[in-house]
Each structure stands twice: as C-alpha cells, then as structure tokens.
Amino acid sequence: WKKRLVKYDIIICFATDVNLPVLKWIARHCEEKKLIYYLYGRIGDYVDLEKNEELIANVKELGYEIWSYDLQDCQRYGFKHNKSFYTEKTHELVARKKEKDLLYDVVFIANNKGRGELIRNVKIQLEERGLKTYFYVLNMPDLEGNKCDKNTPLPYEKYIEVVKVSKAVLDIVTVGNYGLTLRPIEALLTEKKLVTNYLDIENCDFFKKNNIYIMKDCNLENINDFLNRPYEFVEQEIIDSYSEAA
C-alpha cells in the first residue's frame, strides 16, 4: 500500500483502521498531499477521553485535517464536518453474490460504549416478539446470547456477510449523538431495513417508513409488522450520494 500512495492527491485515514506510527509514516512521506483523519465514532464514546483527545492533538500536529460525522464534536473541537459515507471496499463486499436465505431478523454488531442497558433491553424485546437476533457486542460479556465470546472485533467482511443474511440492521446511537452513523448507510447499501433510536433520521433524503423503524423511548410495539412489510427501494442517485467518491 505504501507504493500506491504516490498516485493520490488526497489520503483519508480512518480512526478505527490506522494507528499513530502508520499516520506518522504517511505524514513524513506524503508532505505535499492533503491528509484527512476521519472519525467514525464520537470523541465522548471512548472510555479514555483524555487519551483520545491527546491522540487527536498528535494527529493534528502531523498535518492531518480532522473530519467527523458528528456536528457537536465538530463544533466543540473544531473538526470539519462530513456526512457518513461508504467506501469502495464496502461497495465491493456488498456487490459479491448475495445470500439467498435469511437467517436473522435483526443484527447488531458494535462496541458497548456505555449502552449496555439499552442494548440488553432492545434484545429482550425483540426476542420476546419471536424475532431471531444476532448480537455481537464487544465489552459486554454478561449479555445473554452474545456472539462475541472472545471480545475481539468481528472482521468487516464477516460483518457484511451477517448483514446480508438479516432482515434488518439495528442502530443504537449514544446519548448526545448529532450525526448519521455508518450503520444506516450500510443498511441502505445492502437494501436492508433499519431499526434505530436516531430520531433525526426521518429528515434524511433516503428515509422511507417501510424501511426505517424509529424507536422512540425504546418502543418496539409494531416491530413485527414493520419487518413484514416489503422493502421500498431507494433511488440510486440518493445511494450514490453517500459514496466516498461523492
């Protein structure tokens, strides 16, 4: 990958994928290029906030612009705002042969990030309604039926495979979230339904009631009816607007 960098004018490094030594190497060898460090999570979601703020300061000193999907973080820390988007890698994984048989009704793959009580509550409600779930949650060993038994992240390719065999993706945002996370974009790209507690999603251009169930006060009373409704396809122009190229 190092040899390929010379071909590009802009280099985007994702916070979850690239560590500080790699960022330093890129900064040293790509001084004439525009460098962007993109945050897929909110600063406040991390357990060690002070350590994470120190990392951001170090990245800035290396000459990277810091971008985030979260409006509040952008205002507080002076980041540049950019909506969530899917990468070419995600598009390639989705484009592979789709599974024919659905195995799960709702899938949730994430880190706990202080959402444990809400995650447990939603899982219980879904299963009480006879729905089959796939929950893979890091840092939540006491969650009954948690597929994450070794507390190691699920490879992204495997994550997409699980989404493909599910009816819906669950999106649980943390308190104070002010932006569209990646899960709604992944659901959009894979033509899966979305169950979310992000209330502002109804203002997004891809919002359709048949596709997106908004949990207000964790209310899942009509979830079965929602999942049984046919998926309403979204215009390709809208989907394309969430690509990295756009």
* Percent of all residues in the chain with a pLDDT value above 90, rounded to a whole number: 69
What confidence category does residue 217 fall into, taking pLDDT thresholds of 50, 70 and 90? confident
pLDDT at 3 over 90: no
Residue written as tokens 């997106």? 212
Whole-prediction pTM: 0.85
What confidence category does residue 99 fall into, taking pLDDT thresholds of 50, 70 and 90? low
What does the pLDDT average to over 12-36?
90
Q: Tell me the CB-side half-sphere exposure of residue 182, using CA atoms within 13 A.
A: 20
Per residue in 148-168, pLDDT (tens digit) is 989 999 999 999 999 999 999
Distance CA 213, CA 230 (A): 13
Distance CA 209, CA 157 (A): 29
pLDDT at 50 over 80: no
pLDDT at 41 over 90: no
pLDDT at 49 over 80: no
Confidence (pLDDT) at 159: 94
Confidence (pLDDT) at 48: 60
Question: Please, what is the average pLDDT of the chain?
Answer: 91
Per residue in 234-245, pLDDT (tens digit) is 999 999 999 988
pLDDT at 51 over 80: no
Which is nearest to 192 in space by CA: 73, 118, 99, 110?
A: 99
Confidence (pLDDT) at 127: 98
Confidence (pLDDT) at 46: 57
108 CB-near residues (< 8 Å, 6+ apart):
119, 122, 123, 133, 134, 135, 136, 137, 169, 170, 172
Confidence (pLDDT) at 53: 82
* One-letter identity of residue 237: E
